[in-house]
């Protein structure tokens, strides 16, 4: 149950001036990091890049796992960047052709927009056209991620031994 003090505190919080609340976003994480950093979504792929921390005592197994993990993430990044490029190019062509067709047929203005029903035609067509590519991507994604299990286990084992030896 809210008390009068809680309500006053909430009222104060929401009504105070927000002059010094700017968030400063840096383009890249610092070079010497001790934790993994997750960046903002990439403009092309919409996937957040990850900058992995490198332990100064990193073993060969940990390094191998980190590099393989980065390789899988880069493959995924490249796939979705290319997929999105194709998607937006196809969408632009579809909209342009559909509006041209509507203009010739109905004499509509050039700035008119397509309805959600008309856009659903594009989405279905695009998905149908790229169905086999999506199936192939899913198979490859599972294969690549499953291939990380053994290196991840070996890296985990090395970290566990190192922590155990410290105690």
**Residue 144 near residue 75, CB atoms below 8 Å:** yes
Structure confidence by residue, pLDDT tens digits, 7-62:
444 444 455 555 555 666 666 656 777 888 888 899 999 999 998 989 889 999 99
Half-sphere exposure of 83 (CA within 13 A, CB side): 19
Query: If pLDDT is split at 50, 70 and 90, which confidence band does 114 have?
Result: confident
What pLDDT was estimated at residue 101? 86
Query: If pLDDT is split at 50, 70 and 90, which confidence band does 2 have?
Result: very low
What pLDDT was estimated at residue 166? 81
Question: What percent of the chain shows pLDDT beyond 90?
Answer: 59
What pLDDT was estimated at residue 19? 55
Alpha-carbon dihedral sign for residues 89, 92, 94, 100: negative
Name the more confident of 61 and 5. 61
The per-residue pLDDT of the chain, averaged, comes to 85
CA 51 to chain centre: 13
Give the start-to-end residue ranges of the domains of the chain: 33-166
- The CA distance from 84 to 59, in Å, is 37
Query: What is the phi-psi region of residue 107: left when phi exceeds 0, alpha when psi lies from -120 to 50, beta otherwise?
Result: left
**Residue 51 near residue 33, CB atoms below 8 Å:** yes
* Residue 164, φ and ψ in degrees, nearest 5: -65, -40
- The CA distance from 91 to 124, in Å, is 12
Q: What is the mean pLDDT of residues 97-115?
A: 78
Closest to 148 (Cα-Cα) out of 78, 83, 84, 76? 76
What pLDDT was estimated at residue 59? 95
H-helix or E-strand spanning residue 37? strand 37-38
Structure confidence by residue, pLDDT tens digits, 153-163:
999 999 999 98
């Amino acid at each position: 149950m809210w008390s009068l003090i809680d309500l006053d505190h909430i009222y104060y919080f929401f009504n105070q001036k927000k002059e010094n609340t700017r968030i400063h976003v840096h383009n890249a994480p610092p070079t010497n990091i001790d934790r993994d950093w997750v960046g903002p979504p990439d403009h092309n792929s919409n996937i957040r890049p990850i900058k992995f921390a490198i332990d100064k005592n990193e073993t060969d197994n940990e390094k191998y796992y980190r590099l393989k993990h980065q390789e899988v993430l880069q493959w995924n990044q490249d796939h979705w960047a290319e997929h999105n490029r194709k998607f937006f190019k196809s969408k632009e062509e579809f909209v342009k052709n559909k509006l041209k067709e509507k203009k010739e047929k109905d004499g509509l203005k050039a700035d008119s927009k397509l309805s959600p029903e008309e856009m659903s035609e594009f989405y279905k067509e695009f998905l149908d056209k790229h169905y086999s590519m999506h199936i192939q991507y899913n198979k490859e994604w599972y294969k690549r991620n499953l291939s990380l299990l053994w290196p991840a286990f070996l890296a985990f084992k090395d970290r566990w031994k190192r922590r155990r030896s410290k105690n």
